[in-house]
């Protein structure tokens, strides 16, 4: 099943314009049909041993979201205390969540017991289960972007609070807490890049050939040239 040029360009557009949205959410509701399409895309993610170890908990309740927001506030204050001077001031000025403003919150979890204790491909690298859930998160994010829906991953949270608020079983691990909703705009650059918090790393600086920090031989030179122009 080949992609047309238009379809391929649309995929790359979604990848390059995907943003971690922390602000600019609008009150416009996301229709059930759109939300269902986004979740279907997430559920189609690859998974180790076809284990599909994810669950998606949709959170609209304002009281629950306030408790999650309180956890964010506490964890952010703790993080801020690790910094000093201008760096701390810059950190404190950043908008890093949209828990209350977004249309819905989505907690994506990992269940290591899905389909029993033996999962093909997970025996040597147990973390592949969590990696699979991250693939589902990325699918959700890209599908949402194609629908004009913003997503923000809130990682400044206590997993213990998430477990308590969402009543997760002891064996289920929260992986991602997402804010999902329509936004006023998708910024030209990621917020942290635009704010000067960190620069974008050049692709050519993180690609090695044959081994860690391996230099390219003649066979790799054309690719190396393409990487240099990729940013």
Q: What is the pLDDT of residues 170-189, one digit of tens each?
A: 999 999 999 999 999 999 99
Query: How many angstroms separate the CA atoms of 45 and 110, rounded?
Result: 13
Query: How many angstroms separate the CA atoms of 17 and 13, rounded?
Result: 6
Q: Which residue positions in the chain have pLDDT lower than 50?
A: none
Query: How many angstroms separate the CA atoms of 222 and 196, rounded?
Result: 32
Q: Considering the chain, tell me which residue range(s) the CATH 3.40.109.10 domain(s) occupy.
A: 5-198
Query: How many angstroms separate the CA atoms of 65 and 206, rounded?
Result: 38
pLDDT score for 231? 62
pLDDT score for 208? 92
For 91, the 3-state DSSP assignment is helix
Q: Which CATH superfamily does the domain covering 5-198 fall into?
A: NADH Oxidase (3.40.109.10)
pLDDT score for 77? 97
Query: How many angstroms separate the CA atoms of 106 and 58, rounded?
Result: 5
pLDDT score for 107? 98
pLDDT score for 224? 85
Query: How many angstroms separate the CA atoms of 150 and 104, rounded?
Result: 11
Cα Rg for the chain, rounded, in angstroms? 20
Strand partners, 20: 151
Q: Are 41 and 141 in contact (CB under 8 A)?
A: no
Two structure tokens written together for 109: 């979890």
């Amino acid at each position: 099943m080949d992609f047309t040029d238009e379809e391929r360009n649309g995929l790359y557009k979604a990848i390059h314009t995907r943003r971690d949205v922390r602000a600019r959410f609008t009150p416009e509701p996301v229709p059930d049909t759109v939300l269902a399409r986004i979740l279907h895309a997430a559920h189609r993610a690859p998974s180790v041993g076809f284990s599909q170890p994810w669950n998606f908990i949709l959170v609209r309740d304002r009281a629950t979201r306030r408790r999650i927001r309180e956890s964010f506030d506490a964890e952010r204050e703790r993080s801020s205390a690790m910094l000093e001077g201008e760096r701390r001031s810059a950190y404190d000025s950043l908008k890093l969540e949209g828990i209350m403003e977004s249309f819905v919150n989505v907690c994506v979890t990992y269940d290591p017991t899905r389909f029993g204790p033996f999962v093909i491909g997970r025996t040597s690298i147990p973390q592949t289960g969590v990696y699979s859930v991250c693939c589902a998160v990325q699918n959700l994010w890209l599908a949402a972007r194609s629908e004009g829906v913003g997503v923000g991953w809130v990682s400044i949270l206590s997993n213990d609070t998430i477990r308590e608020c969402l009543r997760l079983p002891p064996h289920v691990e929260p992986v991602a807490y997402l804010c999902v909703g329509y936004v006023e705009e998708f910024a030209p650059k990621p917020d942290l890049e635009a704010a000067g918090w960190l620069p974008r790393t050049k692709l050519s600086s993180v690609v090695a050939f044959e081994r860690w920090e391996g230099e390219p031989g003649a066979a790799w030179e054309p690719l190396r040239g393409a990487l240099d122009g990729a940013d």
